[in-house]
Amino acid sequence: MVLNFSLYLQTNKQITDINMKKILFLFSIICICYTMPVHAQYSSTSSSNTKVTQPSPDANVNYRLFQTQNRWTFLKLDTRSGIITHVQYSTDNKQMEYPLNPTPLVEKEEQKPGRFFLYPTENTYNFILLDQISGKCWQVQWNIDEENRGIWRIY
């Protein structure tokens, strides 16, 4: 009888050990799964603190702001004429706006809201300007330094 009771205790201890291992394993999986979304959220915001904005999907707007990879800089596009202005905001009263492309790319009678659209490239300072009616394209390069900015027709 003592032998049977001793065997019972030993078997019960083995079962308890196995159950505890299962519980610990399950607990660690839950902890890992719970912290993964938080880690992903912080790791994605640490690479850039610039909020990504999308231009208005409304084709009938006269102006659109396009975000650059520089947190302080936007490009303002006159969607009718292709005129582009560099817009820079500031927290210390150094905001500015200057023309990047002051010359209309189409005649006044051909201007129509939504005609032009800017597409970002992998290069921080370059965009592609598309005339959505004629299909013509321009490389647009913004920069604080005047000699490093401009617009060039792509043939």
The whole-number pLDDT of residue 71 equals: 87
| Domain assignment present for 3 | yes
| Domain assignment present for 97 | yes
- DSSP for residue 138: E
The whole-number pLDDT of residue 39 equals: 47
pLDDT tens sequence across 39-96: 444 444 444 444 565 665 677 899 999 999 988 899 999 999 999 999 998 888 888 8
Instruction: Spell out the residues 6+ positions from residue 30 whose beta carbon is closer than 8 angstroms to its own.
Output: none
Question: Do 68 and 37 reside in the same domain of the chain?
Answer: no
| Domain assignment present for 149 | yes
Give residue 154's region: left, alpha or beta (phi > 0; psi -120 to 50).
beta
| Domain assignment present for 58 | no
Provide the domain limits for residue 22: 1-47
The whole-number pLDDT of residue 41 equals: 44
Q: Which residue has the higher pLDDT, 57 or 105?
A: 105
Instruction: Spell out the residues 6+ positions from residue 141 whose beta carbon is closer than 8 angstroms to its own.
Output: 125, 126, 127, 148, 149, 150, 151, 152
The stretch 141-153 carries a mean pLDDT of 91
Question: Do 40 and 93 reside in the same domain of the chain?
Answer: no
The whole-number pLDDT of residue 63 equals: 94
Q: Which residue has the higher pLDDT, 129 or 95?
A: 129
Q: How far is CA 78 from CA 18, 27, 131, in A?
A: 70, 57, 12
CA distance 110 to 117: 15
Asked if the model's pLDDT at residue 104 lies above 80, the reply is yes
Question: Do 34 and 94 reside in the same domain of the chain?
Answer: no
Question: Do 40 and 77 reside in the same domain of the chain?
Answer: no
Total domains in the chain come to 2
Decide if 98 contacts 84 (C-beta within 8 A): no
pLDDT tens sequence across 23-42: 766 666 775 756 665 544 44
Decide if 113 contacts 79 (C-beta within 8 A): yes
